[in-house]
Structure 1
Amino acid sequence: MNEKTQTRLTLQNREIILVGTAHISRESIEEVQEVIRNEHPDMVCVELDAGRLASMTQQDSWDKLDLVKVFKEGKGFLLMANLVLASFQRRLGLNMGVKPGDEMKAAIDTASELGIPFSLCDREVQLTLKRAWASCGFWSKNKLLATLISSAFTTEKIDEQQIESIKEKNELDSMMGELAEYLPEVKRTLIDERDHYLAAKIWASQGSRIVAVIGAGHMGGVVAHLEKISRGEATIDTSNLEQLPPPSLFSKLAPWIIPALIITLLIAGFFKSGGAVSINMLLQWMLWNGSLAALGTLAALGHPLSILTAFLGAPIATLNPFIGVGLFAGIVEATLRRPRVQDIEHLATDVTSLKGLFRNRVSRALLVFFLSSLGGAIGNFISIPFLTNLIIK
């Protein structure tokens, strides 16, 4: 047994063999296949959910993508996060000649070949991302977006030896420590919660001998949780990890703060200096807000009508907390430049480069949505002190 990547546990007369993998490692694929063939367990558990398995095995998984619906349901940022994470792993995988998750698929294929049942033991990825996003405060959300974007477009080359070193404990401890320090809320959701979830699902799987294939980063946490479960110190009930946390009072009030500030400033300007000054303040705010939203859309190479829509729609969206600033521009872009078949087929590959990102109509519509939202938000932050200064004069 490879002590760096495998752990064998005997708990309550059950044997659980954990195989820690790097998700873009050719060596991990070979190791997973070898362990399953040699151990021939009663059950094979894999760190996948049904959605990710479908995206790996169904060629038409993106064909059902409706961008307009995504924007209307407020899932634009969630889809962007999905694509950025996928592009980062895919680019690394292309360097290694493998695709992200190939070792999990190899585990399923090997189990099926040998007639061994398998179970999907990971939490649904959309729920994990939603919980991670909901757990972040304002600054943490910005740090998370910045980290995702910088990771997606890093030009650093990683060789196969570095990929394999990811599975070594000292490397993992360092990485987890950095993540916990930089974004403790995200680390808790992406790592700690899923350690518990994976352990619970592995324990709940049938069979007295189980092989569980998990990312190496989860190895220590899953072992600890399995031992606690076997001693009765932890439960296999994961219902609390499958719900979104209730929003805090601040998160409920936050969407109303900017509209309230702007309206308060306009009213204050009216009572202090009259209607002409108040109207001038309104026009100045609309100019800042609309212009920077339009500039963001232009930076995304949006359609001219998308740029105009961003300019006109940003002030309306700002005053209505139920509408995202980028909603209008994103919908117009997706409508005027409807994704083609090749855009859907090449999406996963196109988002690995800046050229492909702008060429693909799906990713460009998402850029329009994101950058128009960012521009409108910057416009509001600039305009508020500007309007305040007009009143003080």
Structure 2
Amino acid sequence: MNQIPPVNLARQHQLIREETEAAVLEVLSSGRYIGGAVVSEFERQFASYVSVSECVACNSGTDALYLALRALNIGQGDEVITTSFSFFATAEVITRTGATPVFVDIDPQTFNIDVDRIESVITSKTKAIIPVHLFGQPTDMNAVMAIARSYNLFVIEDCAQATGARWQGKPVGSIGHIGCFSFFPTKNLGACGDGGAITTNDRAIAASIRTLKEHGMSDRYRHDAIGLNSRLDTIQAAILQVKLRYLDRWNQQRTEIAAIYDRLLSLLPGIELPQTLANSKHVWNQYTIRIKDKEEDSQPYRDIVRVKLQQMGIISMVYYPIPLHLQPVYKDLGYQTGQLPTVEQAAREVLSLPMFPDLSFEEQQQVVYSLKDCLN
């Protein structure tokens, strides 16, 4: 029986190998490895894809979030509201600016921030909201933007897992004041290394980010701010230009794979399938089910199932076993176990099955049959 990984990047590369290698060789032959026309052209193309006027490429999705916060002058004494169910970078960047993350529970169906709970944690120190479009599904951006307008707050969309997703027809990254994207290799639009981008319709914000990502340098050797070195290198930009042409096709394949999973898994007891909001276009960076806990077990039943799956050649993933509000580094914030119960339950139950555009029907059958055997 073949092992099925959570993602197969080598298989994807074989499909676009000639185009990708030609693009890389062209960069190598040019001798221009940092910046230049290739990076500028990718920024233009990605801005067009997201339907915004400005795109600034950078080193990673983490840097994109950090640069966004810095460009909005968020720092010491400020608070930023976000979900507790996300990759650590979402909160880490808030702390790096000197601000304090304020964590909110999640919607049990979408795993995204529970928009009905945001207002209850707004204070005079609140400056921004960071909704995360987790696993490829957009947050309810109508609700988020309405709250932001009422309280004069900035909205930074964390689009790391959702490139190509849409909320009511609008691309994620074009709805809030700033959108932040990751091009980590496993993302829907992935580089062959790290990479990220910031999108906005605000020219002044984009100009500030361009300065900050180049050591705070507004002109050669003139530094107006303490910035950082966060450039997208030219080879990655060239690869991303190639992959961007395929992104909508790959996202459609992910959607079709998710529909097949839904059909094959619908009758299995003890699991809950992912839900999609009617107003959203989900792009399925992950296909994440719930393995319902057994009350008598102190260990999550999900973990037992995951080990059994691995023994059968199915490599699944857990995103994320420790919620952000319970991370050791944030114990001084005073959050207690049980304070955000929906997040904590999800952390015990979620399991992401193999998901990539070239996953075959036969491989999906193998995943489902193996899961059925584990649950039995």
TM-score, L = length of structure 2:
0.29
Structure (1/2) with the larger strand percentage: 2
Query: Between Structure 1 and Structure 2, whose CA radius of gyration is higher?
Result: 1
Structure (1/2) with the larger helix percentage: 1
